[in-house]
Amino acid sequence: MFDSLFRFLFKFPPLVFEQGDFTFAVSRPVALAIVAATALAAAALLTYRGIASDGRVRDRAVLVALRLSALAVLVFCLFRPTLILKSAVPQQNFLGILLDDSRSMTIADRDGQPRSDFVRQQLTAAESPLLKALSQRFVLRFFRFSSSSGRVSSAAELKYDGTATRLGQALERARDELAGLPLAGLAVVTDGADTSDQSLDESLASMKARSIPVFTVGVGQERFARDIQITRVETPRSVLKGTSIVVDVVVSQTGYGGQTVPLSVEDDGRIVSTQQVVLPPDGESATVPVRFTASEAGARLFRFRVPPQSGEQVTQNNARDALMEVQDRKEKVLYVEGEPRFEPKFVRHAVEDDKNLQVVILQRTAENKYLRLDVASPDELVGGFPKTREELFAYRGIILGSIEAASFTPEQQRMLADFVNKRGGGLLMLGGRRSFAEGGWAGTPVSEVLPVAIESDGGRTTASYFSELSVRPTRAGATYPVTQIADTESASQTRWNDLPVLSAVNSVRLVKPGATVLLSAVDNRRQDQVVLAYQRYGRGKALAMPIQDSWIWRMDAKMAVTDTTHATFWRRLVRWLVDGVPNQVNVTTTQDRVEPGEAVKLTAEVLDSAYVDVNDSRVLAKVTSPSGKTTELPMEWTVTRDGEYRASFVPDETGVYEVRAGATRQSAGSGRPEQAGRDQKELGAGVVHVRVSAGDAEYFDAPMRAPLLKRIAEETGGRFFTPANAASLPEAISYSGRGVTVVEERELWDMPALLILLMALMGSEWGYRRAKGLA
């Protein structure tokens, strides 16, 4: 009966298990082995059943475990398992070796040796261990990559001077060049510092689709022991000359937590600001507000720098450069006042010494009668407030004093709203008897622009609200440039506490979502009162300052004759009001620094005097190189967006290039052919500067990026290695199953290690029994 049963069981084919490129096969007498194992296990339990308790339970458990382990080894051998492998045929497959040739490979963080030493020791000389092992198995093809990639004959050609790393581009280049060849895979030796903006998703998907495994070897430390880095500097692209700037500098470090270091700002090698910075805890970042004044006009290259510290592993990331356009021009602001009062007089005196500001005063003295001050020509504002958009939009900022909404026509009110929304100008409304709700501004187009909610007074008179206010900066205002009335934050806060009280006749308490309150106060009713708030609206910004007598900060008895607090505050406020206001022609670049040989992409926005997009203008960019050579470059309308024109050029010199884009348009009524080219109307011009220099991005965030390299390997079917285990790279590639392969069968049950293990288990059981007196 048993003979018939076994013959029936042996009819079943072998069991085969597959996992990736590995196949595990089991011979047919599996059922017999299971039956035998069950019987032997039961016998082992019966053998030691007679060992009584009284402290012998543990002995019984140990002996049963040893015997069952020995039986398990025997059962494993009865299975006669076989491992089936696909291995690459030696010298029949190609292997692409991609070597990082960028500057970050020179960082000495491997026991004081540069990362490139791994390439030199393992892949350069003919007798290098790793190179020799790979050469015996594969036909090697070497590639270098940094900002560009290409073939090299050997690793000895690397110079490690690349200013960028583009991993995706390197993978695609190697894939295309090795297409059509039996390819075992790609081996990438790098620190993983991919500095390109291109996503790796598309490149990795292509590798996976073509079954090309990528084996990554990460060199360098994943975390520096001692390093300080200027991670980010946020600066405006352009500022007005003489502007006091507060720039946020992000500093990170490891190994220097709690130490104080100097942070300096240099303008063309000249130190313009220095302050002490307490470094954050290890691995964290701190945002440091840095103050300095842009006193020199033109394209200025500011450097933010922390001196190298003792034991620092990377010093090249201690500085960041920022190119800023410092403009020396006069910004024109219109101040409209509805009644005789002191405020416009003192505002005018506060800014009169500022050569870059011109505040034109239009003060109503009687019905339809105005006092004009500081106008540019006899005809300016001769008819009162501007009646056309072209006339109003010639200003870059507007200040509305104590003047009621009814003084403006509905069209003029819409023009004021569009001045902010479309023209991109700055609007400031001051407090007074005819301002805000008291002036009937609720529900007007201007009220939609302002950062505060204007509630209708419901017939309330001016006398129903009056309060004295002790003005204090909010948390946001404590660090904001416009509210800095002293050299440091602490000194500024002290100065605010010492200022005399002001008064308000406008109860403004609510701000709109997205608005920011910079100054506030508590009124006589112990309620919060907004003193200065702002918000971005459309292309411009709107401010509300519902106080009526800031001039007290100049004329109060407690203020010294030489005190400049009032003048400092108003100069900074008016400069901020017109900061970032666009011109009719605005030219920009995608980035303010490019690599030598990298294309500079230009975009120009062209508007008419009413700030409506112009699609039929002629735009010509004049490019001036650092050596003074000029080139004219026509810019073409993009068609996809109104008023947008684009062009590009490739610089051939290092240094700062100036690009001046001018726009002209055919005058109305001059469409006759003989007049073409003669009746062109000048729309304006915009200037931008771009720096051409080798980048330093390789030194920032420079630790080896193991997560990225692991992702590349996992998504393509490869493996991630480090210099410590790179010796196993040749074997891993050989058994990846790619390229020309041969099948290898390895009988696992016939390994000597199994016999040694079986003898050890049996010997351990006998020895334990002897030691416990159970033999």
**685, pLDDT greater than 80:** yes
Tokens representing residue 606 in the block: 């062209």
Q: Rounded to an integer, what distance in angstroms lies between the CA atom of residue 318 and that of residue 699? A: 9
* Confidence (pLDDT) at 119: 94
Range of weakest confidence among 188-202, 320-334, 629-643: 188-202
**48: Cβ contacts below 8 Å, ≥ 6 apart:** 60, 63, 64, 67
**42, pLDDT greater than 70:** no
**667, pLDDT greater than 80:** no
* Confidence (pLDDT) at 735: 83
Q: Give the residue, 126 or 317, on which the prediction is more confident.
A: 317
* Confidence (pLDDT) at 367: 86
Confidence of residue 69 (pLDDT cuts 50, 70, 90): confident
Task: Please write the tens of the pLDDT for every residue from 762-775.
Answer: 888 777 777 777 66
Sign of CA dihedral 178, 184, 185, 186: negative
pLDDT (mean) for 717-738: 91
**632, pLDDT greater than 80:** yes
* Confidence (pLDDT) at 29: 54
pLDDT (mean) for 741-756: 71
* Confidence (pLDDT) at 730: 93
pLDDT (mean) for 755-759: 82
Confidence of residue 469 (pLDDT cuts 50, 70, 90): very high
* Confidence (pLDDT) at 12: 47
**3-state SS assignment for residue 712:** helix
Average pLDDT, whole number, for the chain? 87
Tokens representing residue 257 in the block: 């937590």
* Confidence (pLDDT) at 7: 47
Task: Please write the tens of the pLDDT for every residue from 368-392.
Answer: 899 999 999 999 999 999 999 999 9
* Confidence (pLDDT) at 620: 96
* Confidence (pLDDT) at 8: 44
Short-list 291, 160, 158, 317, CA closest to 235: 291
Tokens representing residue 98 in the block: 């991609």
**589, pLDDT greater than 90:** yes
Short-list 161, 287, 283, CA closest to 227: 283
- Is 133 in contact with 126 (CB distance < 8 Å)? no
pLDDT (mean) for 173-201: 91
Most confident among 26-40, 712-726, 729-743 (mean pLDDT): 712-726
* Confidence (pLDDT) at 32: 54
Task: Find tokens 């390819």 and name the residue.
Answer: 183
Confidence of residue 182 (pLDDT cuts 50, 70, 90): very high
Q: Rounded to an integer, what distance in angstroms lies between the CA atom of residue 647 and that of residue 587? A: 11
Confidence of residue 314 (pLDDT cuts 50, 70, 90): very high
Task: Please write the tens of the pLDDT for every residue from 512-549.
Answer: 999 999 999 988 888 889 999 999 999 999 999 999 99
Element spanning 272, H or E: strand 270-278
Q: What pTM was computed for the model? A: 0.79
Q: Rounded to an integer, what distance in angstroms lies between the CA atom of residue 436 and that of residue 744? A: 88
